[in-house]
A and B are shown apart, each in its own frame.
Chain A
Amino acid sequence: MPNFKYTSEFQFDPSDPFGHMQEEFPRRSEFDVVIIGAGPNGLIAGAYLARAGLKVAVVERRFEAGGGLATEENLYPCYSSNPHVLYHMMVDYMPAIRDFELDGPALTWIRPNSQTGMVFEDGSSILLARMANDTKDSIAKYSFKDAVTFGKVVRKWRKIVDDIIAPATYIPPMAPIEITMAMQRTPVGQEMLELGELSPLQLITETFDHDKVRALLLYASCMWGLDPRETGLGFMVPLMIDRAMNKCYCYGGSHKFASALGRQVLKGGGLILEAATVDKILIENGRAVGVHLFHEDRELRAKVVMSTLDPHTTFLDMVGEQHLDAALKESVKGWAWDKWSFNTLHIAANEKPKYRCDDPWIDQAFATVVGIEGVDSLLQHWGNVAKGKLDLNAFGGHSTCESQFDPTLSDRPGKYVSMFQIHAPYDLEGGWLARRDEIQEAILARWRKAAPNLTPENIVSRSMEDPEEIEIRFPHMRRGSIKHGDYRPLQMGYYRPNEHCSSTRTPIEGLYVCGVSTYPGGLVLGGPGYLGANSVAEDLGVKKWWKPTPEMDRYIKTYLS
């Protein structure tokens, strides 16, 4: 001790020199399952397995569970928003929502009819609504033929989603040849295979005539990271458009979804450990046996370790190259990050944006695309982004007034929280830090041009999150990759993250992967966590208390039996 002694009687215990009063979580602990990352997939996997009777710990680096299911007071003080997941697209299909009966008291979904609008400089607009006839009415302003086509095609696409893509999301992936054979069994399956041959751009330009109609549908198809010109993933277009018509808002903010899932983990007897940074997956005799926490020097040992992180973090940083076979190492090193990231401006304002346009429903829309005048301007913007550029005179993005659906985001009465999000490169020419202010002003100017009431006097507070900041908040969203890695044919389906791991099992015994870099991927599908839980339950010989949903049953019967 330094120069002060209490008394000779007061003895310090050298292992606990200050005699701390409260007991803490032990340095060494044992679990059946340790899950790295308390994002939606980690929580879903944890909730299923805890209820199955396994002793589960979900370990989270941040101070709060939820991962992309975040609601943050990023307009501190008093105004919150959803900086990551805002549009919930798989609420209709996600088994976890049904199996845990989350709808009702725990979660309230808001699904506006007015879903995605697009406003143009000349004051015209187009609207994708939940109800197809409202969409057709809006398309008919430009092209009656396209309106008719939309009505027909959207029904076919719905069938593809309902019968195949949505249920398959929660069933382990198949090799391409197996899929091809299975899909031959039905006309819907054959149609889906045909779509796969096309690029999103081909599919949309072949189906629709009018440039503005095409622009809206192409935006909705590719906004989450499909390459408009790449063939092989055309079957994703029906999914993206159907889901763009059925997005839900989680009342109270997306984090409420995470909290509801988290409480299911706890109810099942599981533990969620926040502010716990895993630095190592413990490997003994080629088997994953637990995790080590950085700094606090704690070890959580387990029969099974599940990682929801990106392949680099899981395999190269936490497992270590020495434990990987050559094929796995090569696959992991070849992993490609998202082709673009997002830059989002959040504002709190005295009013919600009022768009200068011909359709009052646009102001009520869940999302409004601003700054895209047609297919060319859209492709040019995305082309710039792919090259690390932002042309501040020609760019677009989508905006949402979150607090029109959710007053809880604003602690001050009568204020509105809104956001404007653009596709943006991680490696921006000139650098994000240097160009932040300029970009923020440009976004605001563009937004204000479309919604003139967003005057400086009306804006109470603002805050911008750039791609580097996505990575700062979520380090495993490397290079701002919200999906932990690109959607491209060789990183989708059976190949996500690679053929060795897409079943959620890995070549390392006891180690499973079930984050968005694993099949079926990102955007809060809840698929990887569900599939991971299934694999672990099967491998540990635990009885599953859950059953496939009726859609999954139907799919299995039609295509897999």
Chain B
Amino acid sequence: MSKDERFDVVVIGAGPNGMTTAAYLAKCGLSVCVLEERTECGGACETQEPIPGVRIFPHAMLMYASPAPGFEQLELHKHGFRMNWSPHDVLTENTDFACTDGWRPITDKDKLGWAKLGGLLGTPPFTRDLMRATFWCPPHPPEVEVTDENVPYMQVYKQHQPDIWTHELREMTMLDLLDEHCETEHFKTAMAFAAWASGAAGHWEGVAIPAVTSVQLLTLPNTGNRSIPRGGLHGYFHAIHRAAVSHGAVVRTCCPVDEILIEDGRAVGVRLRETAAMGGRTIRANKAVIAAIDVHQAFLKMVGPRHLDPGVIQKIKDVSLKNQTLYVSVFHTKTPLKLNAKFASHQEAKGIGSGPGRTPQLGVYPCDSREIYYENVADVDGHKGQPVVPAERVMWFHGPPQTFDPTDCQASYKRGYISNAFEVAVTSPDLHKEGEDALDRYKAEMDAYMRKAYSQMVDGLDDANLIHHWSATGRDVEFRNTGLIGGTWCGSRHDEDQLWTNRPIQELARYRTPIEGLYHAHQTSGHPGGLCLMAIPYNLMHILIEDGIAEPGDWWYASPWYIPQHGKISARRG
């Protein structure tokens, strides 16, 4: 029997949060071991090639993280980070939105309102500050009362665009805010839906700005601009992985953790599952164990009731999974999908769309009105079963085609045509009234539903033209990637009850846990949640500095809006 291995820090989970945390800590000079259950690192940042020449992004697809301090602090450009910029821009192009009666144009008021909310009209534009304030700042410490004056994004608006700052801003919904600043119903509906898909829905009170900015991370010309990194989000992850390993982090795959070892109320290491590539060994952590895995597994399974009180356990069980469990389809067809008559002529005339089939950009349908949006939300989060909304009215979105990149395997694929990822929100398997395996039983039915839904806009999904239809249900997602609990993409609802100082629950906000030496860093458990932002690790760094675990070099800077906890070391330099 070999001796237990020892590291300063053990990170459980090699998804984007775990690996970014490892990169930060390794760069601080700590010895770090990252343990990953799957054979491949990356978590939700993954790329698959199910048949040669066909590239699928099963989860994360779009670049939300552009303003992240991690790009500078970890110097990802030196580790090969590159983007594939889309030549299209949602604000400067004459963008139309798809409704049941065809395309409807948006107006200058829509665009100006959206640009203003995103800080583009400031002098100079303050988009980066606004985004960083919203996502890249740890929640204030418990002794500090959260007010309109000290919420980071409120401070930014007050400084740069004072007419947006109102006492109502933190009360209203995104739709309320868009009613004030934008014009057309279809633009507002599309943005509200995109916000729902990005974690904070358009109709939730108290998260208007997180909802708006999460969509703006994607759509503003100076943020993600609906573009993807070279190699997809897995390529972005690779840069983080390379940074971590080159700073000395040790990465172990096929190493699922069964238990977080706790001695005298302190986390001292982990025990691996017996099927781990290293066997069921123990790995010790001198300074910290960081659970970069979902809040359920971390606390209900790996820590367990011996170390937590029943009140906390109940709250963790209740962390809401109503957050965009997606049913994802990719279609392989003999001939390209083409816009149907209702959409084609107008689109062609304006020269919008791309690729051989001229299928639309990243898009949403149908955007007629917020009623249709509410109907869909109720169907997913209220009915808790199979969809009741008819396929003609179900809201969907599809990912951006990458045909503008001739090096992408799909661009030169000769055996037919591959569609963009086509996605519909469904009830989480864990909430399904017919049981968590219901989605397995309804797969054929759901596949037909998906085809019918997409056929509202495109021709070519008939039996004769369809070669293969890949679909992944929320149930598949849970099995493939256990951290995506409930099959959710953003982990858990980014609403007022579960964001900022309430994420995931008050007792665990600020990434500390009741167990000394144990921290959490996962989209389900930490502010600001999902979207592969490198935000949780950056925010967590403040806390690890406060606790004397991390001592970064000159490359580190804290969030300008960060407030140190009383009696702790300030993460702010100087």
Chain A interface (Cβ < 8 Å from any Cβ of B): 1-4, 6-7, 9-10, 17-26, 61-64, 71-78, 80, 105-108, 251-253, 255-256, 259, 263, 266-267, 269, 271-277, 294-296, 298, 407-408, 411-412, 433, 463, 465, 469-470, 472-473
A-B contact pairs, 21 of them (CB 8 A): A6-B125, A9-B124, A10-B120, A10-B125, A20-B222, A23-B76, A61-B407, A73-B48, A76-B470, A77-B58, A78-B476, A105-B5, A259-B253, A263-B245, A266-B245, A271-B79, A272-B242, A273-B80, A274-B238, A296-B407, A472-B415
The 3 closest A-B pairs by CB, nearest first: A275-B231, A473-B52, A76-B50
The answer on a CB contact under 8 Å between A256 and B254 is yes
In contact, B71 and A469 (Cβ under 8 angstroms)? no
**When chains A and B are docked, how far (Å) is the Cα of A273 from the Cα of B230?**
10
Q: Decide: A63 and B415 in contact? CB cutoff 8 A.
A: no
Bound Cα distance from A6 to B121, whole angstroms: 7
Which residues of B have CB within 8 Å of A21?
66-67, 71, 128, 222-223
Closest Cβ neighbor of B236 among chain A residues: A22
Specify the main secondary structure of chain A where it touches its partner.
loop
Task: Identify the closest chain B residue to A276 (Cβ).
Answer: B230
**B492 on the A face (CB < 8 A):** no
0/1 interface trace, chain B 59-85, chain A, CB 8 Å (1 if under): 000000111100110001111111101
Known: A21-B128, A76-B48, A108-B277. 4 other contacts (CB 8 A): A4-B108, A62-B49, A259-B251, A463-B51
CB-CB under 8 A from A105, the residues of chain B are 5, 250, 252, 278
Known: A9-B124, A22-B68, A275-B235. A72 touches B49 (CB 8 A): yes
Q: Is the CB of B67 within 8 A of A72?
A: no
Please judge, given known A-B contacts A9-B124, A408-B39, whether A22 and B76 are in contact too, CB under 8 Å: yes
Residues of B within 8 A of A62 (CB): 49, 409
A436 to B431, CA, bound (A): 41
Is B557 on the interface with A (CB-CB < 8 A)? no
Known interface pairs A18-B221, A469-B51. Does A25 touch B80 (Cβ–Cβ under 8 Å)? Answer: yes
A97 to chain B, nearest CB (A): 15
Q: Tell yes or no: B47 within 8 A of A by CB.
A: yes
- Closest Cβ–Cβ distance, residue B145 to chain A (whole Å): 32
Which of these, A272, A274, A470, contacts B52 with CB under 8 Å?
Answer: A470
A-chain residues with CB within 8 Å of residue B92 when the two chains form the complex: 1-2, 4
Whether A465 lies near B51 (C-beta < 8 A) is yes
In whole angstroms, what is the CA distance A74 to B51 when docked? 6
User: Would A473 and B49 be within 8 Å (CB), given that A76-B470, A263-B251 are in contact?
Assistant: yes
Evaluate contact between B230 and A253: CB separation under 8 angstroms: no
Chain B interfacial positions (CB closer than 8 Å to A): 5, 38-41, 47-53, 55-56, 58, 65-68, 71-72, 76-83, 85, 89, 91-94, 108, 111, 115, 120-121, 123-125, 128, 221-223, 225, 230-232, 234-235, 238, 242, 245-246, 248, 250-254, 275, 277-278, 405-407, 409, 413-415, 470-472, 476-477, 479-480
Check A22–B93 contact: CB distance below 8 A: no
Q: Are B407 and A24 in contact (CB under 8 A)?
A: no
Contact, CB under 8 Å: B124 / A275: no
Partner of B50 from A7, A17, A72 at Cβ < 8 Å: A72
**B95 smallest CB distance to A (angstroms):** 10
A residues near B77, Cβ cutoff 8 Å: 22-26
Contact A256 B121 (CB under 8 A): no
CA distance A272 to B245 in the complex (A): 12
- When C-beta atoms are compared, the residue in chain A nearest to B65 turns out to be A22
- The answer to whether B479 touches A412, judged by C-beta atoms less than 8 angstroms apart, is yes
CB distance from B74 to the nearest CB of A (A): 11
Chain A positions within 8 Å of B58 at CB level: 76-77
Is there an interface contact between A76 and B56, defined as CB atoms closer than 8 Å? yes
Asked whether, in the complex, the Cβ of A108 is within 8 Å of the Cβ of B67, the reply is no
A298 to B407, alpha carbons, bound, how many Å? 13
The reply to whether A295 and B407 contact each other, CB–CB distance below 8 Å, is yes
A473 touches B53 (CB 8 A): yes
Contact partner of A296 (CB less than 8 A), chosen from B225, B230, B246, B414, is: B230
CB-CB < 8 A to B111: which residues of A?
Answer: 4
Question: A residues within 8 A CB of B79?
Answer: 271
Contact indicator A72/B48 (Cβ below 8 Å): yes
Given A77-B476, A263-B245, do A25 and B66 touch, yes or no (CB 8 Å)?
Answer: no
Cβ A22 vs Cβ B66 within 8 A: yes
Contact B51 A4 (CB under 8 A): no
A9 CA to B160 CA, complexed, in Å: 14
In the complex where A19-B222, A412-B479 touch, is A63 in contact with B235 (Cβ < 8 A)? yes
Contact in complex: A251, B246 (CB < 8 Å): no
C-alpha spacing A274/B231, complex, angstroms: 7
Bound: A9/B67 CA distance, A: 21
Specify the chain A residue showing the minimal Cβ separation from B221. A18
Residues from chain B with Cβ under 8 Å of A263 in the complex: 245, 251
Alpha-carbon separation in the docked complex, A465 to B53 (Å)? 11
* Alpha-carbon distance between A76 and B470 when the two chains are bound, in angstroms: 7
A162 to chain B: closest CB distance in Å?
29
The smallest beta-carbon distance between B552 and chain A, in angstroms, is: 19
Contact, CB under 8 Å: B472 / A77? yes
Contacts of B66 in A (CB 8 A): 20-22
The reply to whether A256 and B82 form a contact with Cβ atoms under 8 Å apart is no
Chain A nearest CB, measured from B355 CB (Å): 16
Which residues in A have their C-beta under 8 angstroms from that of B91?
4, 6
Q: How far is the CA of A390 from the CA of B160 in the complex (A)?
A: 72
Tell whether, in the assembled complex, residue B277 and residue A252 are in contact, meaning their CB atoms are under 8 Å apart: yes
Contacting residue for B83 out of A24, A73, A106, A473, CB 8 A: A24
Residues of A within 8 A of B50 (CB): 72-76, 463
- Measured between C-beta atoms, what is the minimum distance from B5 to chain A in Å? 8
Q: How far is the CA of A106 from the CA of B92 in the complex (A)?
A: 50
Q: A411 to B479, Cβ gap below 8 A?
A: yes
**Which residues of B sit under 8 angstroms from A465, Cβ to Cβ?**
51-52
Tell me the nearest residue of chain B to A409, going by C-beta: B39
Identify which of B53, B92, B125, B413 gathers the most chain A CB atoms within 10 Å of its CB.
Answer: B92
- 8 Å CB contact of B230 from A78, A107, A275, A408: A275
CA distance A172 to B248 in the complex (A): 34
Residue of B128, B235, B253 touching A256 (CB-CB under 8 A): B253
- Write out the residue numbers on chain B whose beta carbons fall within 8 Å of the beta carbon of A63: 47, 49, 55, 231-232, 234-235
**Set B94, B128, B245: member contacting A2, Cβ < 8 A:** B94
Docked Cα-Cα span, A291 to B245, in Å, equals: 25
Alpha-carbon gap, A253 to B242, bound state (A)? 21
Q: How far is the CB of B156 from chain A (nearest CB, A)?
A: 16
CB distance from A158 to the nearest CB of B (A): 29
Taken together as a complex, chains A and B put the C-alpha atoms of A408 and B39 apart, in Å, by 7
CA distance A138 to B60 in the complex (A): 52
